[in-house]
Chain A
Amino acid sequence: MKLKTLVVAGAMALGLAATPAAAKTFRYAFQGDLNALDPYTLNESFTLGALGNVMEGLTKRDKDLKIIPGLAERWEIVDPLKWRFYLRKGVQFHNGEAFTADDVVFSLDRMRSPGSQIKTRAPADMKAVKVDDHTVDFVLASPNPILHAEWDTWYIYSKPWSEANGATQAQSPTATSLNPFALKANGTGPFTIVSHEPGVKTVFKPNPSWWGKPEHNLTEVTFQTIKNDATRVAALLSGEIDMMDPVPVQDIDRIKSNPNVTVLIGPELRTIFLNMDSFRDELLYSSVKGKNPFKDARVRKAFYQAIDMEAIHTKVMRGMSVNSALLISPLLYARAGEFKRHPYDVAAAKKLLSEAGYASGFEVEMDCPNDRYVNDEGICQAVAQMLARVDIKVKLNAMPKAKYFDKAGPNKKYDSSFNLLGWTPGSFDSWNVIENIIGCRDADGKGGLFNYGGYCNPKMPELNKKILVESDIAKRDAMIAEAFRLNHEEAGVIPLHQQSLAWGVSKKVEMAQRADNQILFYWVKMK
């Protein structure tokens, strides 16, 4: 009797001891919400990242953003107009259905449904042809060397499940009722969603029948939004959460001084740059009348050289940035090292201005978002002060992003003379930057939607077309270098820096930080 009691007590003690050791809950917080669980309706890195733990694409990207096999085991380019993907066998969706080629063909149709925001993941004229249950051919109208560049976030839907749940189309932004599936998710990924309250809390659990070998040791994951910077920091310091993003620049030292937490810092892909309106014949918001000084490359270069990026790096960004000579992160372009920034040189800038006929400077208004990028308004203020040294008087209009994109963007026909913008190419490829940021556009934005200054080099459109279809990597990179060089020499758009990522992480947690700022907890290990 006594022995039995002891055994039971011992077993209970072991059980109690074992439970906390085995249960590993990873709790993380982000400043934004996770809304609809349909990854086709919002092309935004946080949402795509969170759902990337639950759903999978044909390809994946590893910790260094290299493309690796996902739901496709391998693929080959049969000829420049035909790519063949061999699908992984024995993969199941969370509800038990087998993954087949039909799901891939269906997901392509769904990606192109009217409400989808990820239509550009594949060319509009591409066709998917099912060869057998585990082979799919993608037939192209023109060669495309980066066809699969964004397929890691083109998550595959189950066809039977979508049909059963009325999810064959992406939720339309103008729908008058909510599709029931927008709050459900059925993928093939390493985690399943247990519960989801938009804007409050989402709970994930590992998927026991996942096809891969888990690299995490978690039993549960909870995500919560914490909007306020100070509260997010406090929640991390008090141990209520294990990881949060982003850490406000001014709180980095405070978090580092706490023995239980640390800050993971790494380069982000987004590049911040300045646009000058070189499109209009007369500058809108300026003291110069009847002409546009920004049409003169010397004026643009003077602006470039008058900005002290070292000061912005140390004072405004507190070291949390990498100055850039290019409009793309050096992680994404092999020949980035060949480019150096024009040096900061006030005398040279003054000389250029007087050569252009603006020896006594001029006035110009600058538009700047104040809630979009890290310290965006601070950067603009610094730029304005630096330009004052070369007698350019800048009147700064800082505004919230909703207002900023409305004014400076295509909506109001780029109603801005000088502004700041940031860009991450969705495809992680230079062509996207050349097309969107320095591609020649018309007054409505056709040609280069995010070319907020309307800068245009006549050689660019031709070059851009060639880059799009060139399959030879060396030749392609050379043409990209040529395009970037054109912008660099004429200072069409002034690159500033890549901002840094800062994640607050408990010392109990070991995790990979990917430069695209996706939080992928299938790589999280907890002590």
Chain B
Amino acid sequence: MLAFAIRRLFEAALVMVTVALIAFTLFRFVGDPINQMVGQDTSIEDRLKLREELGLNEPIVVQFGRFLGNAARFDFGISYQVKQPVTSIIADRFPATLELALAAALFAVVLGIPMGVYTGIHRDSWLSKFFLTVSLIGISLPTFLIGILLIYVFAVKLGVLPSFGRGEVVRVGFWRTGLLTTSGLKAIIMPAVTLGLFQMTLVTRLVRAEMLEVLRTDYIKFARARGLPDRAINFGHALKNTLVPVITVIGLQLGAIIAFAIITETVFQWPGMGLMFIQAVQNADIPVMAAYLMLVAFLFILINFIVDLVYVRVDPRIRIFGRAG
């Protein structure tokens, strides 16, 4: 187990450095941050001085080395635009994104699994067909379109949900949550649905396919022959055995939800990291972009690691194999 963790740690470090390297090669093409920082009347001397002070004139290798050195101490510099330390901006924005991602994942799982099970068992019922059609829409419409449609219906036409923002937030320790106020809960519904719809579809279809597969196996037939109730067969035996791939996918998708919340956050003006990242790209705010990419890479690694651990709990075969190895 320890060897496993250490090997993972080493791999993680390698992945992070690679991501940083790729990011830095790309930063050369994002444009000039200076024009967005200074006033239009700033003289050419002052502009050049600022470039010099920010270290933008140094070779990319030197900039990269300095970035790695600072990043190892969790210092990601100061945002060119907001003029705050990047770590504190991210600490401010991260709760919003994580709450949104978890709400979206919850929505996907809570609706996706039952729909998958149902459509797996009752293959030909009209409700199954309805579920599958809905899920097809979820997978084929682009996120921003779904968001705008929801806003149009629920905010403009019906006026029941807010069209933007996060509502009132309350502070619990360092964490600012919107989940404890009515306006915050109302505000999270549409973004979470928008963000989670694709994942819900994925979960539904995955569970359905796995259910169909498992229901054909011999042990299910034996269980039926033994006269076990349908409930026990479907949920106790069949569903449990479909969960390994489902957990993998949900786990990896959680990383994707956090990383790709960008569009949803922009549409709903959700004050999370994705919105911060978009603004950073537009203004060539390199410290913010670098830190965000590193954080996302780290989250992917972390989630993968947790998924590996969960496997061991869910699937006894891996556990036994792991011990033997």
On A, residues with C-beta under 8 Å from B are 33, 35-36, 41-44, 117-120, 171, 173-178, 182, 197-201, 224-228, 230-232, 234-235, 237-240, 371, 399-407, 409-411, 423, 426, 432, 436, 444-446, 449-450
Contact = CB atoms under 8 A, between A and B. Distances in A.
A44 B54 contact: no
B33 A402 contact: yes
Given A173-B83, A178-B78, A402-B284, A231 B163 contact: yes
Interface in B10-62: 29-44, 46-47, 50, 53-54
A403 B39 contact: no
B83 A402 contact: no
Given A231-B151, A234-B156, 15 more contacts: A173-B37, A173-B83, A176-B77, A176-B78, A200-B166, A201-B165, A238-B163, A402-B30, A402-B282, A402-B284, A403-B32, A411-B32, A436-B40, A444-B44, A449-B44
Given A406-B31, A409-B35, A230 B151 contact: yes
Nearest to B56: A411
In the A-B complex, the 4 residue pairs with the smallest Cβ-Cβ separation, listed nearest first, are A43-B39, A402-B31, A406-B32, A403-B31
Nearest to B44: A445
A174 B43 CA distance: 18
Interface residues of B, number: 54
Interface in B52-107: 53-54, 77-78, 80-85, 88, 92
B83 A199 contact: no
A173 B50 contact: yes
A238 B50 CA distance: 44
18 contacts: A44-B39, A117-B42, A119-B46, A173-B78, A176-B78, A197-B271, A199-B82, A200-B166, A225-B269, A227-B278, A231-B267, A232-B164, A234-B156, A239-B159, A402-B31, A403-B30, A436-B40, A449-B43
A234 B267 CA distance: 11
Contact of A231 (B41, B43, B164): B164
A173 B267 contact: no
Nearest to A399: B31
Contacts of B77: 176
Contact of B266 (A43, A227, A399): A227
B152 interface: yes
Interface in B171-219: none
Contacts of A402: 30-33, 35-36, 282-284
A226 B156 CA distance: 16
B39 A174 contact: no
Nearest to B152: A234
| Residue of A33, A201, A231, A409 most packed against chain B (CB within 10 A) | A231
A35 B31 contact: no
B255 interface: no
Contact of A405 (B32, B44, B155, B159): B32
Contacts of A403: 29-32
Contacts of B148: 230-231, 234
B248 interface: no
Contacts of A237: 156
A209 to B, nearest CB: 30
Contacts of A238: 155-156, 159, 163
Nearest to A407: B31
Contacts of B29: 403
Interface of chain A: mostly helix, strand, loop or mixed: loop
A173 B53 contact: yes
Contacts of B43: 120, 449
Contacts of B44: 410, 444-446, 449
Interface string B225-255: 0000000000000000000000000000000
A29 to B, nearest CB: 8
Contacts of A400: 31, 282
A228 B165 CA distance: 12
Nearest to A179: B83
B179 to A, nearest CB: 17
A464 B160 CA distance: 60
A41 B163 CA distance: 32
A444 B48 CA distance: 11
B117 interface: no
A446 B77 CA distance: 31
Contact of A199 (B159, B268, B279, B284): B279
B40 A450 contact: yes
Given A42-B39, A450-B40, A33 B279 contact: yes
Given A175-B78, A234-B151, A371-B282, A117 B164 contact: no
A201 B166 CA distance: 10
Nearest to A406: B32
B269 A228 contact: yes
B78 A43 contact: no
Nearest to A444: B44
| Residue of A178, A432, A446 most packed against chain B (CB within 10 A) | A178
Contact of B165 (A175, A224, A239, A426): A224
B275 interface: yes
A118 B43 CA distance: 11
A145 to B, nearest CB: 18
B257 interface: no
A406 B37 CA distance: 13
Contacts of A171: 83
Contacts of B269: 224-228, 231
Given A176-B78, A228-B267, A230-B151, A235 B39 contact: no
